[in-house]
A and B are shown apart, each in its own frame.
Chain A
Amino acid sequence: MKRLFRLPFSRARVQRDVDTELAFHILGRIEELMARGMSRQDAEREAQRRFGDPAAVAHEVARIDVETHKRRVVTERLSAFARDLRYALRGLTRRPLYALTIVITLAVGIGANTTVFSVFETVLLRPLPVRDLDQLLVVQDDFPKMNARFGVSALEALDLFERRDLFQSATTTRSAYGTLLVSEEPTHEYGVATLGDFAGVFGVRPLLGRFYEPAASQFGRPPVVVLSHELWQRLGGDSTIAGKILKIGDQPYEVSGVMPGDFTYPSNAQFWRPLVLDSRTLNQTQSRGTVIELFVGRMQPGLTTERVGSELRALAERWHQQYPGNYQRGGHTMVVIPLVDRLAGQLKPIVIALLSTVGLVLLLACANVASLQLMHTTGRARELAVRAALGAGRAAIARQVILESLILAIAGGIAGVLLGVGSLTWLTKLNIGYFPALKDVRLDGMVLAFTAGATVLAALLFGSVPVLRTARVRVNDALRESVRGSSTGAVRHRFLRASVIFQTAIAVVLLVAAGLTIRSLGRLLDVELGFQAENVATFTFFLPSQRYPEGPQRIAFLNSLDERLRTVPGVQSVGFALGTPFSGSAGSTLYDLPGVPKLPGESDRHANQAFVYGDYFRTMGIPIVRGRAFTVADYAAGGHTVIIDETLVKRSFGDRDPIGQQIKHGPSGTIIGVAKSVKLGDLSEPAHPLVYHNYGRSPSTSAMTAALRSSLPIDAVVKAVRTSVKELDPSLAAPPVYALTQRIADSYGHRQFATRVLTIFAALALGLALLGVYAVTSYVVTSRTREIGIRLALGAARAEIARMVLRDGAILATAGLVIGAAVFTLTARFFRALLFGVGVLDPVALGAAVVLLACVTLLASYLPARRAVRVDPMLTMRTE
């Protein structure tokens, strides 16, 4: 039996009902007992006994009834929700194309944002698992006239450690390579030697053992080392390794701890050991000029980077007074940059550019969804009006409309996250040159919540507001007329037109940005290298100073290696240099030309250096444009000879002949040749003078890069090359061999990445804009069908109608183009760092974007225009 209606719920009524029910029972029982002959008193007592405690029962029953009521309310609400949901879903499945379009649009917006935010978080927000990472500052010696920044010297670092007013704790690191045995095989590992409180600055707890104390740097302390998680794993992952002895080079170290796997500072470091301040190190650093320590300090709370910077500039001034011999002309000061910026390096401008463009993609998606929903509403104004007329409350209609938006938003969100996960997987596989951070990019909850939240909110705002405005149904209007240019229609049209302009403008911005990066990459690849990179392989090796302490031993090693490498099948020529293009730098220093007065306007005489041995120039394909290359005789005997590059000639010699002149650049030497200028590490670097020193006469470095030119593919010679190094000295690690072309490609990997992503974004934007313009134009055409019919009936030519529709599209597109171009010039600074060889206002990129967009909008309005032309005037009049 179903109740047709229910009295309103109240606790008092429930209590009353329960009391009535129980009273009926007890009274009935009493009467029954009395009928059997009991006195009233006995009957009452007996009934009471049989029943138990009526008050307790009444209380319990009332409680159950209240609960019953609550459950019923919940059930009813749920079923109402289920009904609304069914309604909404039915509404959407009836228009699958519309639903699908919105879901895809949202998915694109969310997917792109998820991806870029993940990258942003990994690269700029949380590159290291370190507390208050933004408080860590890098301090560098800055030589503004040389346009160069280096680390600081150990003595400067010790002075900086005293500045407790600026830094709570501070440390320095310098590269410290070491060869150690990993499964019986010598491998060359990159590590750092630290000074100061490394553990304090980074606040990372080791996985095993402990991090050594700052005092471990004091002379005479037993050598200790902390291993990276990766190296520890490769060594066998012994969990009792702390306290054991590990030989690095010839030196036994006590392992004091193992760092956790996610701690990667400096990136790729495999071990950390104290920089021991023995007399050799101190002598080396006595000049305060060996600026190879990278200083990182944790700022005192309340300070700002600017404040620390100005304090340090003042400190530099005091040093100049205090140690006048140590700071030479050329100018010196100190600069401070956040560690995060240094870690992000060249990725920072890219991530910022992507972040700003991906926001635009999201806006575009929202605008698209908004116009689609608005058009959709118009189509169903009748349906909603009918429901309203049938008595559906405004709230019920609003619920349904919001629910529809919500379903679409959630579906779009899920699709978007899947898209984001997919593109992140793609991204981590990209292996972008020097950016190991990108390998670790992954989706996390914060990113997900942020993007999904933002987009759903946006979808609801953009989607529901216009819908609800129409849903505040003018029941009469809607029922009386179908889609027609009524006054509400005019408002709607204004919104749609604005949306088209907006979408076109955004598409322009993205197209121009993509165009500029594509052009930049093209320019970059056209840059003249100055050498022939094809078929050249390079590898770098290190001659331990214990076994190769002096020049003669090193030269002997190079000679035997040279001989061996030449016998490798395919190898045509072999050369050596420290400072080989794209294979490691040999530093730079000031030079002096005693016999050559400065040219008017000549800046500081500062040049990069390279130390050359063997048949280097021929192997690398660097043309000698004047004089000659080094010969075996040059290497073997006589004074120091050098070769300079064209850039140096242009800077310092002008039209004078440099051959035979003396140059002091570190060691003094005679110039015997001029080589073509080469790019050293980055295709976009400006030309800078380079001096090639004769390594045979000045074998000062223990690291060397070998270059070999091969007639076979590089892969075919790699193994033989590695073996010949091992055979020559089994204690050396077999070096990794690289194709030079690969190293060059790595150097612009980040630009390629930026270009690819921006191009994808631009394509998405173009697609969305196409969709937007098409949808709006065809909607406008549909809503003007009657007008077009009348015009045709009155004798308008069909061509004229087509022109009318196309003109409409053209006006909107033009407005969008102009606004987009204007917006781009305002936001251009986000892109400037990505550009090379093109201006922000590059006519080609701008022109291409405009033409492309014009074509697309034309296409988008052509189809509706064709439809408009085919309107049958009789038919349209009749449907009214």
Chain B
Amino acid sequence: MPRNVDLLRGTLDLFILKTLTWGPMHGLAISRWIENASKSQLQIEEGALYPALHRMEQRGWLSAQWGISDNNRQAKFYSLTARGRKQFAAQLATWQRYTKVAATLLGATEAAV
């Protein structure tokens, strides 16, 4: 397996939403969580995280608040809004349906034609 898997378009949003279901987090924590949860198989370009976060904030999926981090620094914490939760549920369902179809299709033998 290659170390960097290209992120499928749109999945970053889904990962961020998933991450934030654990509770409010700042950007660094989100990127760490994604990295750990994917067992380091997935390393995103961390800069790309921020436009995604702010865009989701604009859409009302996330709300942001300044707070103090573990190491006593000022950090911006993101949390899911009610709309964000709904969005996550919807995107997750779509994603699962998609992977299932993709798996079926890619696993098909010639005989199925």
Q: Which residue of A lies closest to B63 (CB)?
A: A1
Given A1-B79, A21-B27, A29-B28, A56–B74 Cβ distance below 8 Å? no
Q: Assess whether B79 is in contact with A61, with CB atoms less than 8 Å apart.
A: no
A65–B56 alpha-carbon span in the complex (Å): 11
Cβ–Cβ contact B47 & A57, under 8 A = yes
Q: Is B13 an interface residue (CB 8 A)?
A: no
Instruction: Answer whether residue B76 sits at the interface, using C-beta atoms and an 8 A cutoff.
Output: yes
Contacts of A56 in B (CB 8 A): 47
Is B65 interfacial (CB-CB < 8 Å)?
Answer: yes
- Interface status of B55 (Cβ within 8 A of chain A): yes
Question: A24–B26 contact, CB under 8 A?
Answer: yes
Name the contact of B50 in the complex, choosing from A20, A31, A57 (C-beta under 8 A). A57
B30 to chain A, nearest CB (A): 10
Asked if A52 and B75 make an inter-chain contact with CB atoms under 8 angstroms apart, the answer reads no
**How many residues of chain A are within 8 Å of chain B by beta carbon?**
26
A71 CB contacts on chain B under 8 angstroms:
58
Structural contact, A24 and B47, CB atoms closer than 8 A: no
Q: Does B43 contact A (CB under 8 A)?
A: yes
Q: B35 — nearest CB in chain A belongs to which residue? A: A50
Let me know if A625 is at the binding interface, CB within 8 A. no
Q: A1-B63, A24-B75, A25-B27 are in contact. Are A52 and B55 (CB under 8 A)?
A: no
Task: Mark each residue of chain B from 55 to 96: 1 if its CB lies under 8 Å from any CB of chain A, else 0.
Answer: 101100001010001010111100100000000000000000
Interface residues of A in 237-257 (CB under 8 A from B): none
- Report the bound CA distance from A52 to B44 in whole Å: 10
Given contacts A1-B63, A60-B51, A64-B54, contact A51 B45 (CB under 8 A): yes
A366 to B48, CA, bound (A): 62
**Chain A 1-36 interface 0/1 with B at a Cβ cutoff of 8 Å (1 = within):** 100000000000000011011101101110100000
Q: Is the CB of A52 within 8 A of B54?
A: no
B residues near A61, Cβ cutoff 8 Å: 50-51, 54
Contact B51 A57 (CB under 8 A): yes
Whether A54 sits at the interface, judged by CB under 8 Å, is: yes
Give A71 to B50 CA distance when docked, in angstroms: 19
Which of A1, A51, A67, A68 is within 8 Å of B47, CB to CB?
A51
CA distance A758 to B48 in the complex (A): 75
**A270 vs B56: C-alpha distance when bound (angstroms):** 71
Bound state CA distance, A17 and B53, in angstroms?
A: 14
Contact between chains at A22 and B74 (CB < 8 Å): no
Residue of A nearest to B56 (CB): A64
Bound Cα distance from A25 to B55, whole angstroms: 18
Assuming A1-B65, A64-B54, is B74 touching A29 (CB within 8 A)?
Answer: no
Quick one: closest A residue to B55, CB to CB? A64
0/1 string, A46-66, CB within 8 A of B gives 1? 000011111011001100110
Residues of A within 8 A of B65 (CB): 1
In the complex, which residues of chain B have a beta carbon less than 8 angstroms from the beta carbon of A21? 26-27, 50, 75-76
Docked complex Cα distance between A362 and B58 (Å): 50
A54 touches B47 (CB 8 A): yes
Among B15-56, those with CB < 8 Å from A are 26-28, 31, 43, 45-48, 50-51, 54-55
CB-CB < 8 A to B46: which residues of A? 25, 29, 50-52
Alpha-carbon separation in the docked complex, A21 to B78 (Å): 12
Bound Cα distance from A761 to B97, whole angstroms: 70
* Cα-based distance from A1 to B57 in the complex (angstroms): 12
Looking at chain A's contact residues, is the secondary structure mostly helix, strand, loop, or mixed? helix
Residues on A with beta carbons closer than 8 Å to the beta carbon of B75: 21, 24
A64 adjacent to B47 (CB under 8 Å): no
Tell me, rounded to whole Å, the shortest Cβ–Cβ distance linking B27 to chain A: 5
Min CB distance A370 to B, Å, is: 46
A-side contacts of B55, CB under 8 Å = 64
Known interface pairs A1-B65, A28-B28. Does A68 touch B48 (Cβ–Cβ under 8 Å)? no
Cβ contact within 8 Å between A67 and B58: yes
Q: Roughly how many angstroms separate A741 CA and B48 CA in the complex, as a whole number?
A: 90
Instruction: Find A22's partner among B48, B50, B69 (CB 8 Å cutoff).
Output: B50
Shortest Cβ distance from A69 into B: residue:
B58
CA distance A84 to B46 in the complex (A): 46
- Chain A residues with Cβ below 8 Å from B50 are 18, 21-22, 25, 57, 60-61
Decide if B43 touches A31 in the complex (CB within 8 Å). no
Chain B residues with CB under 8 A of A28: 28, 69, 71, 73
Residue in B51, B54, B74 whose beta carbon sits within 8 Å of that of A24 in the complex = B74
A residues within 8 A CB of B45?
50-52
- Separation in Å of the B35 CB from the closest CB of chain A? 10
Closest to B48 in A: A52
Distance (whole angstroms) from the CB of B75 to the closest CB of chain A: 5
Residues A24 and B63 in contact in the complex (CB < 8 Å), given A52-B45, A56-B47, A61-B50: no
CB distance from B61 to the nearest CB of A (A): 12
Q: A24-B28, A27-B73 are in contact. Are A64 and B79 (CB under 8 A)?
A: no
Residues A59-93 near B (CB distance < 8 A)? 60-61, 64-65, 67-68, 71
Task: Specify which chain B residues have a CB less than 8 angstroms from the CB of A64 in the assembled complex.
Answer: 51, 54-55, 58
CB-defined contacts of B26 to chain A, threshold 8 Å? 21, 24-25
**B45 smallest CB distance to A (angstroms):** 5
Chain B: minimal CB distance from A852 (Å): 65
Q: Measured between alpha carbons, how far is A53 from B31 in the docked complex, in Å?
A: 16
Tell me the bound Cα distance from A693 to B65 in angstroms: 108
A68 and B54 contact, CB distance less than 8 A: yes
Residues in chain B near residue A29, CB distance under 8 A:
28, 46
Closest to B74 in A: A20
Specify which chain B residues have a CB less than 8 angstroms from the CB of A20 in the assembled complex: 74, 76
Contacts of B28 on A, CB cut-off 8 Å? 24-25, 28-29
In Å, the complex CA distance between A116 and B83 comes to 56
Q: Closest residue of chain A to B76, judged by CB? A: A21
Bound CA–CA A31/B71 (angstroms): 11
Residues of A within 8 A of B58 (CB): 64, 67-68, 71
Distance in angstroms between the alpha carbons of A21 and B27 in the assembled complex: 8
Return chain B residues, CB-CB under 8 Å to A60: 50-51
- Closest-by-CB residue of A relative to B26 is A24
Chain B residue with the shortest CB-CB distance to A53:
B47
A838 to chain B, nearest CB (A): 75
CA distance A470 to B38 in the complex (A): 70
Nearest-CB distance from B108 to chain A (Å)?
38
- Docked complex Cα distance between A52 and B31 (Å): 14
Chain B residues, Cβ within 8 Å of A51:
45-47
Q: In the complex the two chains form, what is the Cα distance from A18 to B45 in whole Å?
A: 18
* B51 to A, closest residue via Cβ: A60
Question: Chain B CB within 10 Å — which of A21, A31, A54, A71 has the most?
Answer: A21
B28 to chain A, nearest CB (A): 5
Instruction: Look across to chain B and name the residue whose beta carbon is closest to the beta carbon of A24.
Output: B75
List the A side residues contacting B43 at CB < 8 Å. Answer: 50
> Do A24 and B73 have beta carbons less than 8 Å apart?
yes
Interface centre among B46, B47, B50, B51, by most chain A C-beta atoms within 10 angstroms, is B47
Complex-state Cα separation, A371 to B58, whole angstroms: 49
Q: Which residue of B lies closest to A20 (CB)?
A: B74
Contact B54 A65 (CB under 8 A): yes
Q: Closest CB of chain B to A755's CB: distance in Å?
A: 66
Instruction: Using CB atoms, name the residue of chain A closest to B73.
Output: A24
In the bound assembly, the distance between CA atoms of A68 and B74 in angstroms comes to: 22
Q: Can you show 27 pairs from A to B with CB atoms below 8 A apart?
A: A1-B65, A17-B76, A18-B50, A20-B76, A21-B27, A24-B26, A24-B74, A25-B26, A25-B27, A25-B50, A28-B28, A28-B69, A28-B71, A28-B73, A50-B43, A50-B45, A51-B45, A51-B46, A51-B47, A52-B48, A54-B47, A57-B48, A64-B54, A64-B55, A65-B54, A67-B58, A68-B54
Other CB < 8 Å A-B pairs besides A24-B27, A60-B50, 5 of them? A20-B74, A21-B27, A28-B28, A50-B45, A51-B46
Pairs of residues from A and B, 10 with the lowest C-beta to C-beta distance, nearest first: A52-B47, A57-B47, A68-B58, A64-B54, A28-B28, A21-B76, A25-B28, A51-B46, A51-B47, A60-B51
Q: Which residues of A contact B (CB under 8 A)?
A: 1, 17-18, 20-22, 24-25, 27-29, 31, 50-54, 56-57, 60-61, 64-65, 67-68, 71
